[in-house]
Amino acid sequence: MVAQAFGIDIGGSGIKGAPVNLETGELATERVRIPTPQPSTPKAVAKTVAKLLDEFGDQAKDMPIGITVPCPVINGITPAMANLDKQWIGCAAADVMTSVVGRPITLLNDADAAGLAEVYFGAAKGHKGLVIVTTLGTGIGSALIYGGVLIPNSELGHLEIDGFDAEKRAAASIRTNEDLSWKAYIKRLQRYYETLDFLFSPDMFVVGGGISRDADKFLPFLKLNASIVPAQLRNQAGIVGAAWYAHQAQASSPTRSPQG
Ligand code: BGC
């Protein structure tokens, strides 16, 4: 029987989940999406997660569960939060989830999950060097993966560049909100990626987030030492990476994940 785990991706507008086939990195069945509750407190989100799992009934019963959050995760605690309710700040979020859902939960950062999915199943599959996966969305998420090993919580969307928090200049949402032309936006992306290129000398950048659908409008124009390619798993990367990570965590310790 093919190993499966359950992945859930928590975003500002929706909570999406599905069982994942860990051999292929594909969703084992269609995903379910429930709108993120407002206010999006940890408890309210945990209840929505429980509801989502209920929709899968027995199918998800014995699977490890991995959940992404749009913030760093340190030993199951979420020390900061930009795009969900402020009650997440300093919250023992993995414990809250585990007690509401009634099963062990492995939490990880959303971009870290997307990064793992791209390195194990997507655009950087099998890459042995340093891969930086960035997600361009409401903010900028980042994952640093070297030799297939994740260095978690890199938060490179918050690098200060030219006096600005990078994601406040170069996130996909900024292009929409400031109504930037592709030319103007490419200039900002060039500044962002050339800074990462200089600081980390990665072998490869993978660019995810909804905007990666339009990759041909901006990626070919970026001049970098590292190669830069669009993500392949698109909006499933978070679910797939979370499931993969939960499976690894459970395999290394059946009761405790590496992150709590
Ligand atoms: C957060 C990151 C997150 C990214 C994408 C940033 O604002 O600090 O933790 O990965 O947004 O959601």
Residue 246 Cα to ligand 1 midpoint, Å, equals 20
pTM: 0.96
User: CB of 111 closer than 6 A to ligand 1?
Assistant: yes
Overall domain count for the chain: 2
Q: Are residues 17 and 77 in the same domain?
A: yes
Please state, as a whole number, how many other Cβ atoms lie within 10 Å of the Cβ of residue 112.
28
User: CB of 202 closer than 6 A to ligand 1?
Assistant: no
Helices and strands (H, E) in the chain, number of each type: 7, 13
The domain boundary residue, chosen from 110, 138, 160: 110
Best residue for ligand 1 mutational test, from 83, 88, 116 (most atoms within 8 Å of Cβ): 83
**What is the C-alpha to C-alpha distance for residues 38 and 50, in angstroms, rounded to an integer?**
16
Q: Provide long-range contacts, Cβ within 8 A and 24+ apart, for 77-84.
A: 77/260, 78/42, 78/107, 82/139, 83/11, 83/12, 83/138, 83/139, 84/10, 84/12, 84/36, 84/40, 84/45
Residue 68 Cα to ligand 1 midpoint, Å, equals 11
Residue-number span of the structural domain to which 211 is assigned: 123-231
* Extended beta strands in the chain, E state: 4-10, 14-21, 26-27, 32-35, 65-69, 105-109, 130-136, 140-146, 149-151, 160-161, 164-165, 204-208, 227-230
Q: Are residues 130 and 86 in the same domain?
A: no
* Extended beta strands in 32-188, E state: 32-35, 65-69, 105-109, 130-136, 140-146, 149-151, 160-161, 164-165
- In a domain, residue 220? The reply is yes
Q: Which atom of ligand 1 lies closest to the CA of 71?
A: 9
- In a domain, residue 246? The reply is no
CATH of the domain at 100: 3.30.420.40
Best residue for ligand 1 mutational test, from 107, 110, 116, 151 (most atoms within 8 Å of Cβ): 110
Show pLDDT as tens, one digit a residue, over the chain (260 residues): 679 999 999 999 999 999 999 999 999 999 999 999 999 999 999 999 999 999 999 999 899 999 999 999 999 999 999 889 999 999 999 999 999 999 999 999 999 999 999 999 999 999 999 999 999 999 999 999 999 999 999 999 999 999 999 999 999 999 999 999 999 999 999 999 999 999 999 999 999 998 999 999 999 999 999 999 999 998 899 999 999 999 999 887 654 444 44
**What is the C-alpha to C-alpha distance for residues 20 and 37, in angstroms, rounded to an integer?**
24
Best residue for ligand 1 mutational test, from 71, 132, 135, 142 (most atoms within 8 Å of Cβ): 71
Q: Are residues 157 and 83 in the same domain?
A: no
Q: Which residue bears the tokens 């978070």?
A: 238
Q: Are residues 79 and 39 in the same domain?
A: yes
Q: β-strand 4-10 against 204-208: which pairing, if any?
A: unpaired
Q: Are residues 59 and 144 in the same domain?
A: no
Edge-first strand listing for the sheet containing 227-230: 149-151, 140-146, 130-136, 204-208, 227-230
- In a domain, residue 237? The reply is no
Question: For residue 80, what are the contacts with CB-CB under 8 A and spacing of at least 6?
Answer: 71, 72, 89
The residue nearest atom 4 of ligand 1, judged by CA position, is 141
Please state, as a whole number, how many other Cβ atoms lie within 10 Å of the Cβ of residue 82.
16
